[in-house]
Amino acid sequence: MTKYKDANFNQDYINYVKKIAPKTNEARSLWHAFLVGGFICVIGQFIRYFLLYAFGLYGDELAGATSMILIFLGCLLTGFGVYDNIGHIAGGGSIVPITGFANSVCSPAMEFKSEGFVYGLAAKMFVVAGPIIVYGISASVLTGLIYFIIGLFTA
């Protein structure tokens, strides 16, 4: 008898949520993500061309300078509260580029700055981005070891 009541309650709750939840237009959401993510990449490409032709940067210096400028712009827009509005419209289109990573580091730092520099800003800065950094570094080390081992056997 209890299982039947729980199942009935669960179905009633699911029906209630479907009734009050806003409907999502997936095609429009995908289109916005595509446009905004593409626009961020176009801005990055313009920055890259500017650094290439104006300062003669190339290779790793060009890639590093372009990344730093995009990270700075992401943090700046987060600080002014603009990047959250962009993210609301674009969804994943604003999260995937490097500016989204800058937003994920800067946003918690701003939120917890009132708790002080050590326990607020420094401790909470990598709440969102920390796992990405840890698993990204771990995956790159593992990939490097695999390539190293393969290189030992093929040399």
Mean pLDDT of 71-91: 93
Residue 55, in any domain of the structure? yes
Over 70: is that where the pLDDT of 127 sits? yes
Residue 133, in any domain of the structure? no
Over 80: is that where the pLDDT of 122 sits? no
Residue 150, in any domain of the structure? no
Q: Which of 90-94, 109-113, 147-151 has the highest mean pLDDT?
A: 147-151
Q: Would you state the pLDDT for residue 7?
A: 61
Residue 46, in any domain of the structure? yes
95: left (phi over 0), alpha (psi -120 to 50) or beta: alpha
Q: Would you state the pLDDT for residue 6?
A: 59
Residue 58, in any domain of the structure? yes
Residue 137, in any domain of the structure? no
CA 24 – CA 31 distance, rounded (Å): 13
Mean pLDDT of the chain: 88
Indicate the SS3 state at residue 1. Answer: coil
Range of the domain at 67: 23-124
Mean pLDDT of 81-107: 89
Residue 102, in any domain of the structure? yes
Indicate the SS3 state at residue 143. Answer: helix
CA 93 – CA 98 distance, rounded (Å): 11
Structural domains of the chain, count: 1
Q: Write out pLDDT tens, residues 1-57.
A: 445 555 666 888 888 888 888 888 889 999 999 999 999 999 999 999 999 999 999
Share of the chain above pLDDT 70, in %: 94
Q: Would you state the pLDDT for residue 95?
A: 86
Measured between alpha carbons, how far is residue 113 from residues 42, 73, 125, 130 in Å?
A: 33, 20, 9, 17
